[in-house]
Amino acid sequence: MTQSWKSAISRRPVLSGLIAALGLAIAGGIAFEVPKLSRRRYKPSPYDDLLANLPDRENAARIGAAVIAESPAFDANQTARALVNSLADNSLAGVVSADLAQGRMDEVHGWLLPQTLTQLCALAAKAS
Amino acid sequence: MKAFLDARSIPAGTVLDTDLAIIGGGPAGIALALALANTPIRVLLLESGGEAFEPQTQALYAGSETGTPYLKLENSRLRYLGGSSNHWGGWCRPLDAIDFEQRSWLPHSGWPFSRTELEPYFSRAQSMCEAGPFIYDDPAKWTQSFGASIPLGEGGVYTTYMQFSKTRDSYLPTHFGERYGGDLKRVPNLSVMLHANVTGLRLATNARSLDHLDVATLQGGRFTVRPKYTVLAVGGIENARLLLASNDVVQAGVGNGHDLVGRFFADHPIPGDTATMVLFNGAISNYYQQPQPAFGAYFRAALTPHDAFKNRHAVLCSLATIEGEVQLDGLGQSAVAATASTLGIDAANMRAFTVGCGMELAPDPERRLTLSDERDALGMPRLNLDMRISDSDFARYRDTLKELGRQLLAARTGMIRINHKSRESWLSVMDWGNHHMGTTRMHNDPRQGVVDANSQVHGVSNLYVAGSSVFPTYGASNPTLNLIALTLRLADRLKMVFRS
Ligand SMILES: Cc1cc2nc3c(=O)[nH]c(=O)nc-3n(C[C@H](O)[C@H](O)[C@H](O)COP(=O)(O)OP(=O)(O)OC[C@H]3O[C@@H](n4cnc5c(N)ncnc54)[C@H](O)[C@@H]3O)c2cc1C
């Protein structure tokens, strides 16, 4: 009895420690996974690496749909290859700044947008 | 102070002699008459209307319009003392230096002198317009006191400042007849005759000088004025009409030996809602949207291309104004969200505005006034205006908007949507400035201009033209301040002519 009481006493912190550790692990896991879970899932596309540059892919895809409607001959693969090159060593912000400095702009339903952004938008639409 | 004369009381057949006849009592005629005050020159100013609107007199302005839809000729001006200043908007801005330059990419461009020639006259013209101190080119003055201008990346478009005519103690623009009527009555060497319609400029038989003027009243009176010199100042449309209709000695009309009178008509197209401008942080100084009182003037900002940009990209001048706030549609919201997030900008407070504009037209000889077969109540042939606007005029303005959009993005300030592409779309939002220019253009070469650099009609020694009809290239600035400056220059010329 004393023994069992003793052992009960001695086992209690171990158990609660284990439960706490498990709880922490689950909570940590959830905290780690939540953004992934809540982030919209897109069906895989060949342009996912490029599209990861877009902070707002839904709105970009809406613009992209307009781009494709205005230029039905839009060649997604060729555009993607060019973008992979230009974004290889530069951030999107840097490439967009260069577009603006050099006057590389596109008009989408009248909206004037930096060319690289327009192209990414069109890929986002293709991918969606 | 002496009263105005009334042509209706002049007996038929009278011949009046004077040193100088000024035909027309609008801003140009009034500015000239006052500039010649207290000189030994006896001046007679002949004005078609009275001191207020009269429908029968106004009807003399009716004509017909063909081609690109335009304003009705009788609605686009007013025919009584003060002329169209009786309903002008009071917007003032001097022409840009490039407006005077001959540009290889712009056929028929250039004045016979540079802007520096007009500079000595601007501040006097400004004070006649009652538009406050002449501080257009001093942006720091406005921005320090009234808030920052819209940040734009380096490039071709910048914020410029317009000033407004305002009658003393009012925000309403100066009506020249009302405002200067008393002054005109006080000038000892000036007589102003109302209800005096000049119906003919009669050349001497050798056609080298003007012999006399035919004057008629709507009551049937007819008499003659025999001036030593005459200045035609009846407005940008009517100047051409009087020259063309005076075709008894030279069949083509006075000053029209090279078929130029009435050609090159121009106005400023004022298309509405040309673009939508988004400002990511929603902040805008009031002076972009509404005239603001400051330094005894009213001023408002507009966006305009630099002269260097115009030359580099072959674009004409334009003055884009920011008007009311608008809501964006779904695509617009997506464009802003996608762009702002890519640029790393918080656009939660963004606001969107519609953009208006005053545009410059390229000179076009086929945009033209001609006499029609119709006649007015005085027997004068009426005019037909064949209006035209070319696709390249729209394309050039679009190029400026594109540059503005680029600069807004480069500065992380905002972005724009250009709202019109097709000709039909542009024409559907078209209005006009009522700024009639170009029909008696100035050029040193008589084959290319109706008047010379002194505003004298080529080949007619004693006939001059005042007003915006002499502008060979137009800029986008409103014309009145500039035409008054040019008229003050003409006054100096006439003083010299009379002295010699
Ligand atoms: C609605 C409107 C808004 C405008 N807004 C602006 C603006 O904001 N800024 C700006 O700079 N400009 C503006 N303008 C243009 C401005 O009004 C003209 O530039 C200016 O009035 C031209 O002056 P003027 O003396 O050359 O001609 P006018 O003002 O046309 O005066 C001509 C005079 O000649 C008289 N006349 C005509 N025919 C005869 C004849 N046969 N015999 C004798 N007399 C005759 C007329 O009665 C009139 O008094 C506007 C015009 C209109 C219509």
DSSP classification of residue B457: B
- Secondary structure element (H or E) that encloses residue A30, with its range: helix A2-38
Would you call B345 helix, strand, or coil by DSSP? coil
Same-domain status, A84 and A22: no
User: Which of chain B's residues have a Cβ under 8 Å away from the Cβ of A58?
Assistant: 334
User: Mean pLDDT over residues A79-101, rounded?
Assistant: 95
| Per-residue model confidence (pLDDT) at position A6 | 39
CA B221 – CA B265 distance, rounded (Å): 32
Residues of B in contact with A69 (CB under 8 A): none
> Around Cβ A36, how many Cβ atoms within 10 Å?
8
Q: A70 — contact with chain B (CB < 8 Å)?
A: no
Q: Quick one: which of B302, B350, B347, B345 has its CA closest to B326? A: B350
**Average pLDDT of chain B?**
97
In the predicted model, is pLDDT for residue B298 greater than 70? yes
Using CB distances shorter than 6 Å, the residues near ligand 1 are: B 23-29, 46-49, 76-77, 79-81, 83-85, 87-91, 197-198, 233-235, 238, 242, 434-435, 467-468, 478-480, 483
For residue B468, report the distance from its CA to the centre of ligand 1, in Å. Answer: 9
Instruction: Give A20 Cα–ligand 1 centroid separation in angstroms.
Output: 89
Claim to verify: residue A14 and residue A70 sit in the same structural domain: no
Q: Which of A43-47, A70-74, B36-40 has the highest mean pLDDT?
A: B36-40
The Cα–Cα gap between B250 and B216 comes to 22
Q: Kindly give the distance from the C-alpha atom of residue B455 to the centroid of ligand 1, in angstroms, as a whole number.
A: 18
Domains parsed from chain B with CATH numbers: 1-96+174-267+364-389+435-500 (3.50.50.60), 131-164+270-360+392-431 (no CATH)
Q: Is residue A117 part of a domain?
A: yes
Q: Give me Rg for the CA atoms of chain A.
A: 26
Q: Are residues A69 and A94 in the same domain?
A: yes
C-alpha B83/C-alpha B173 separation (Å) is 13
Confidence tier at A39 by pLDDT (50, 70, 90): low
B331/A109 CB distance under 8 A: yes
Domain span at residue A54?
48-127
C-alpha distances (whole Å) from B125 to each of B82, B157, B236, B320, B485 are: 15, 27, 18, 24, 5
Distance CA B170, CA B253 (A): 44
Let me know: does B200 contact B214? Beta carbons within 8 Å.
yes
Pocket perturbation via mutation, ligand 1, pick of B237, B480, B487 by most ligand atoms within 8 A of CB: B480
Q: What is the pLDDT of residue A8?
A: 40
The CA angle B310-B343-B340, to the nearest 5 degrees, is 90
Smallest Cβ–Cβ distance between B338 and the set A56, A107, A112 belongs to A56
Note whether B335 contacts A108, CB cutoff 8 Å. Answer: yes
Q: Taking 50 as the threshold, does the pLDDT of residue A4 lie above it?
A: no
- pLDDT, average across residues B29-56: 98
Instruction: Verify that A21 and A57 share a domain, yes or no.
Output: no
Residue A56 sits in the same domain as residue A80: yes
Q: Average pLDDT in the B57-79 region?
A: 98
Give, in degrees to the nearest 5, the angle at Cα A68 between A67 and A72.
130
Encode B366-380: b = buried (16+ Cβ within 10 Å), e = exposed.
ebbbbbeeeebebeb
> Ligand 1 centre from B89 Cα, in Å?
12
Q: Tell me the β-bridge partners of B44.
A: B21, B191
Q: How far apart are CA B233 and CA B192, in angstroms?
A: 14
Q: Is A121 on the interface with B (CB under 8 A)?
A: yes
Q: Where are the alpha helices (DSSP H) in B283-420?
A: 307-313, 330-343, 391-410
In this structure, the answer to whether residues A75 and A109 fall within a common structural domain is yes
- Same domain for A58 and A13? no
Average pLDDT, chain A: 81
End-to-end CA gap in chain B: 30
Query: Does residue A92 lie within any of the structural domains?
Result: yes
Residue A1 lies in a domain: no
Kindly state whether residues A19 and A78 are assigned to the same domain. no
Q: Give chain A's domain count.
A: 2
Percentage of chain B exceeding pLDDT 90: 95
- pLDDT range class, residue B33, cuts 50, 70, 90: very high
pLDDT confidence bin for B257, thresholds 50/70/90? very high
Mean pLDDT of B462-482: 98
Residue A59 lies in a domain: yes
Tell me, yes or no, if A92 comes closer than 8 A to chain B by beta carbon. yes
Q: Could you tell me the distance, in angstroms and rounded to a whole number, from the CA of residue B483 to the centre of ligand 1?
A: 11
User: Using CB atoms within 10 A of its CB, is residue B272 exposed (0-12), middle (13-18) or buried (19+)?
Assistant: middle
Residues of A in contact with B399 (CB under 8 A): none
Q: How far is the CA of B439 from the centre of ligand 1 (A)?
A: 14
pLDDT confidence bin for A2, thresholds 50/70/90: very low
Quick one: pLDDT at residue B157? 98
CB B266 within 8 A of CB B467: no
For residue A119, being part of any structural domain is answered with yes
Among partner residues B330, B334, B405, which is closest to A105 by beta-carbon distance? B405
User: What is the rounded average pLDDT of the residues B284-298?
Assistant: 92
| Alpha-carbon span B230 to B210, nearest angstrom | 8
- Tens digits of residue pLDDT in B319-366: 999 999 999 999 999 999 999 999 999 999 999 999 999 999 999 999
What gap in Å lies between CA B462 and CA B20, rounded to an integer? 9
Query: Is A87 part of the contact surface with chain B (CB cutoff 8 Å)?
Result: no
pLDDT of residue A22: 56
A65–B contact, CB cutoff 8 A: no
Segment B443-450 shows an average pLDDT of: 98
Question: In this structure, are A94 and A57 located in the same domain?
Answer: yes
Write down the pLDDT at residue B395.
Answer: 97
Same domain, A30 and A77: no
Given a cut of 70, is residue B461 above it in pLDDT? yes
* Ligand 1 atom index nearest CA of B466: 26
Angstrom distances, CA of residue B119 to CA of B134, B162, B486: 11, 17, 10
Mean pLDDT of B470-481: 98
Tens-digit pLDDT profile for residues B197-250: 999 999 999 999 999 999 999 999 999 999 999 999 999 999 999 999 999 999
Residue A85 included in any domain:
yes
SS3 content of chain B, % helix, strand, coil (to 5): 30, 25, 45
pLDDT value of position B177: 98
Please indicate, yes or no, if residue A4 is contained in any of the structural domains. Answer: no
Indicate yes or no: pTM above 0.90. Answer: yes
- Suggest the residue from B154, B329, B334 to mutate for an interface test with chain A (most A CBs closer than 10 A): B334
A116 and A72 housed in the same domain:
yes
The answer to whether residues A116 and A89 belong to one domain is yes
What is the per-residue pLDDT for B143? 86
Distance CA B208, CA B499 (A): 21
pLDDT at A40: 65
pLDDT above 70 (res A17): no
Q: B405 contacts in A (CB within 8 Å)?
A: 105, 112
Residues of B in contact with A117 (CB under 8 A): 338-339, 342
With an 8 Å Cβ cutoff, are B405 and A109 in contact? no
The pLDDT, as a whole number, for residue B199 is: 98
Percent of chain A past pLDDT 70, that is, above it, reads: 68
Residue B137 has pLDDT above 90, yes or no: no
What are the angstrom distances between the C-alpha of A86 and each of A77, A116, B255? 14, 9, 63
B19's tokens: 């040193």
- CB nearest to B342's CB, from A108, A110, A117: A117
Structural domain contains residue A43 = no
**Contact (CB, 8 A) for B429 and B274:** yes
